[in-house]
Amino acid sequence: MNPAEAVTTALSTLVSVLGLWVLYAWFYRDYRRDVFRQHLFALRDELFDMAARGEIRFDHPAYRLLRAAINGFIRFGDRLTFATIMLIAWSTRKDNLPQALGDEAFGPQFDKARETLAPEIQAKLDATLKRVHICVLNNILLTSPVFLVLMPILSIVIAVVILVSGLKDGIRVLRADVYGKLRGSFSTLDSAALHLGAAV
In a domain, 135, yes or no: yes
Residue 108's pLDDT is: 86
**Most confident option among 20-29, 60-69, 133-142:** 60-69
Q: For residues 20 and 124, what is the distance between their CA atoms, to the nearest angstrom?
A: 41
- Mean pLDDT, the chain, rounded, equals 79
Q: For residues 179 and 105, what is the distance between their CA atoms, to the nearest angstrom?
A: 19
In a domain, 145, yes or no: yes
In a domain, 23, yes or no: no
Radius of gyration of the chain (CA): 21
In a domain, 44, yes or no: yes
In a domain, 113, yes or no: yes
pLDDT in tens, 136-174: 888 888 887 777 777 777 777 767 766 666 655 655 665
pLDDT of residue 199 exceeding 90, the answer is no
| Closest residue by Cα to residue 117 from 57, 64, 43 | 57
Given a contact cutoff of 8 angstroms between Cβ atoms, the answer to whether 164 and 170 are in contact is yes
Q: How many domains does the chain have?
A: 1
Q: For residues 91 and 98, what is the distance between their CA atoms, to the nearest angstrom?
A: 10
Residue 91's pLDDT is: 64
The residue type found at 162 is I
Residues listed for the chain:
200
- Could you tell me which residue, 13 or 177, shows the higher pLDDT? 13
Average pLDDT of the segment spanning 129-140? 87
**Sign of the CA dihedral with 70 first, then 72, 77, and 83 last:** negative
Task: Work out the burial of residue 30: count CB atoms within 10 Å of its CB; fewer than 13 is exposed, 13-18 middle, 19 or more buried.
Answer: exposed
Average pLDDT of the segment spanning 64-74? 93
In a domain, 80, yes or no: yes
Q: For residues 141 and 138, what is the distance between their CA atoms, to the nearest angstrom?
A: 5
In a domain, 16, yes or no: no
pTM of the model: 0.74
In a domain, 71, yes or no: yes
Residue range(s) defining the domain that contains residue 183: 33-198
pLDDT in tens, 100-129: 455 677 888 898 999 999 999 999 999 999
